[in-house]
Amino acid sequence: MDYFRLEFNEKQQAFHHDNYTHEPETNGWITIKDRCLHDFAYQFEAFLYAKKLERVTESDVLNALTEFDTFEENLLKINRHIAKINK
């Protein structure tokens, strides 16, 4: 498994999957999760965008991360998970 650092830039309204080749916390990027898998990142981004915020702030992202962690914990408690569906 290849891990990466998930970062967010409020000005650019974008996420970045950094493979540890860039200096963290620079040029407006904040670290959301330091050791991350692509599946987590895509699921988290979908969770955040489901909120349909007009403009996403750093605070929105960090709050959503806490909510998403709780959501994942609750799924585990009932023995459920999010799976990719191949079409």
pLDDT tens track for 13-56:
999 999 999 999 999 999 999 999 998 999 999 999 999 999 99
Encode 45-81: b = buried (16+ Cβ within 10 Å), e = exposed: bebbeeeeeeebeeeebeebbeebeeebeeeeeeeee
Q: Residue 18's beta-bridge partner residues?
A: 5
Report CA dihedral (72, 77, 34, 52) to the nearest 10 degrees.
10
State the pLDDT at residue 86.
76
pTM of the model: 0.85
pLDDT at residue 68 is higher than 90: yes
The pLDDT confidence band at residue 83, using thresholds 50, 70 and 90, is confident
State the pLDDT at residue 22.
94
pLDDT at residue 87 is higher than 80: no
